[in-house]
Structure 1
């Protein structure tokens, strides 16, 4: 993911946690924080140490980044997103993680269904 698509600063994370809206399923928690006038969306990923060693955590983050990259044309640009992985995601493959991400984004109504169908 390019640098301008990342949420990195502590302040941005805290703003999203405190003022954003959260949506969840068994594998992921998604915080949505509006940033009106933003050219493109930004994403922050969090995978805790309870998920396993660094290799497992990095694998989960790679899968999430790749899923976001594939879904990016269908994602609403006027928000910052924080994605927090839950313990249930550990032994999932890429397609299950992508399906879970799409599910939580549909719950949050931040993904364009027509564009999503065109991508698949």
Structure 2
């Protein structure tokens, strides 16, 4: 994922925490903040040291980035996202992370309607 698609600065994180909306499930907390002037979504990741060692934390971050890469056409581009991983993510594989993130993004209402039709078609196959 390109650097311009990431939230890196502490001030940006704090602004999203204060002004954005949050939605959570057991594995992830997602903060969203609309940015109408933005052409592409940006994500910020937070994985605490309580979750595991560096290898585990980096793996979780890779999984989350890959999920967002696959959702590229299905999530709104004018939004900043912060994803905070909780402890249960340490024991999850990619597909479990994908399922959990899909669930929390649906709760946040940031997935486009076209995602629903694609997902239903895949489930039938």
Task: Report the TM-score, using the length of structure 2 for normalisation.
Answer: 0.91
Q: Which residue of 1 aligns with 2:34?
A: 34
- Cα distance in 2, alignment partners of residues 37 and 98 from structure 1: 28
* Superposition misfits of 4+ residues, deviation over 2 angstroms: 115-120
Q: TM-score, normalised by structure 1?
A: 0.95
CA distance in 1, matches of 2:5, 2:63: 16
Residue number in structure 1 paired with 2:14:
14
Report the Cα distance in structure 2 between the residues aligned to 1:103 and 1:114, rounded to whole angstroms: 16
SS in 2 for 1:4: helix
| Max Rg structure | 2
Q: CA deviation at 1:78?
A: 1.1
CA–CA distance in structure 2, aligned partners of residues 117 and 61 of structure 1:
27
Q: Give the 3-state SS of the residue equivalent to 1:84 in structure 2.
A: strand
How big is the alpha-carbon RMSD for the aligned residues of Structure 1 and Structure 2?
1.2
Unpaired runs of 5+ residues, structure 1, are none
Q: Secondary structure at the match of 2:58?
A: helix
Match of 2:77 in 1: 77
